[in-house]
Amino acid sequence: MNLLVNCPPSVTNMRKEFFIAARHILSAQEIRPKFLQVLDELMNEEILIGHGYTIRDALRPLAYSTLADLTHHIRSSLSLSKIARAIDVYGRNMHDHTLPFSIQQMSLRLILNLVECIRQRAVSATSANQGASATNAEDQNNEVFSGTARRLLLQTLNLCVLKAKVVADHYIPALESTCVLETGEEVTSNSAKQRPRSIHAYLFANISSFSSELNEVGSFTDKSVPASDFSNILNSGTDASKVHEPRIVEPLAKLQLSYTDVRTLVKALITGIRTVMTSMIQCPHDNTLQTNNVAPVSSTSPKQSISNRILSPDELVVLTEYFSYGMRMIDIVQFVSRDGRLYLRSQPSTKSPDERLLIETFALTFAQLNPISFHEIFSCKIHVSYSVF
């Protein structure tokens, strides 16, 4: 850490050699836990990368991939405040189009890997509080209080749904506009004609509106936020976007995504969102949302399980939006890559096992919900499924 802090921020080559050496050092399993105490400082971009356009452009992918590798290997030892910090940093990277697509995908994978850690913290804390005395329960709540883990999962769900919105509204139409029918005819539908061939112009024209949507998530905060602020935000339930205004520091670069990239991203999002929802319905709500007539019972009892499966209004809004975007993302199964060209299936055909698994995973995301929450979503989105099928 002393070498990183004292290294001149403008010396690109020196910092690059430092990160290359750090990757070799961090490959030793016994050394990684020693960096747990300084993880918050490493997630400060001013310390990790430094200032200047050249150094940011050259070192951000290497720096964030090195930090992600460290975070992934010590994730089981992270507190909820450090997990919240990691979700904030890599949530921004997941939506940062100035970073290579591989780094965006890596950020998504890291965030989804942290989901299981959040669930384990919530389940273990609930069991400890129920079996301990009042004093022990109070000490335990200093680290994990009711609903904190669920709010982190909602933040993760928000990030994934925003990415699904970009895929459904822009990546899929951009691919469709380059398709030809399997018969050899060009796609001439009005919807395909009206959709842009590239999302580059859209991103520049609507950067203000798009950044305002990201602001609503509450995780795209200023990069210099101290780690202590995240604990306060979690404990108070305050929206992070109201504490620090988000900022976009660089213009968005033109994307060059292939069919394989988009298909991989769609699969990761649909699978990841199902994992988030599976973990969310196992985590307790805030005390204000818990049913008053439910007595303290074990975390595996039917009453508690049903209570956790009922979604809060904020969770319902996010998951309802995901239903619309997810239905459009599934259109990726209609594309066929053959002989270096992209074809659109002219008629229904037998789906491959991967395609069936993708559709089933999307359906199972909603099948595990409480019937009340399930009805709330489908009562206002039934027209979407009807128009698709």
What pLDDT shows up at residue 335? 85
Low-confidence ranges of the chain (pLDDT < 50): 132-134, 137, 139-140, 142-144, 186-228, 230, 233, 238-255, 290-300
Taking only the tens place, the pLDDT of each residue in 72-84 is 999 989 988 999 9
> What is the C-alpha to C-alpha distance for residues 184 and 48, in angstroms, rounded to an integer?
51
Asked if 114 and 129 count as a contact pair (C-beta separation under 8 A), the reply is: no
What pLDDT shows up at residue 126? 64
How many CB atoms are closer than 10 A to CB 326? 24
Written as one string, the DSSP assignment of 362-386 is: HHHHHHTS-HHHHHHHHHHHHHHHH
Instruction: Report the Cα 353 to chain-centroid distance in Å.
Output: 26
Place of tokens 């720096």: 63
| Claim: this prediction has a pTM higher than 0.85 | no
What pLDDT shows up at residue 141? 55
Taking only the tens place, the pLDDT of each residue in 189-239 is 434 444 433 333 333 333 334 344 444 444 434 444 444 454 554 555 544
What pLDDT shows up at residue 175? 87
Pick the closest to residue 155 from 258, 251, 280 (CA basis). Answer: 280
CB proximity list for 360: less than 8 A, separation 6 or greater: none
> What is the C-alpha to C-alpha distance for residues 290 and 88, in angstroms, rounded to an integer?
27
**20, amino acid identity:** I
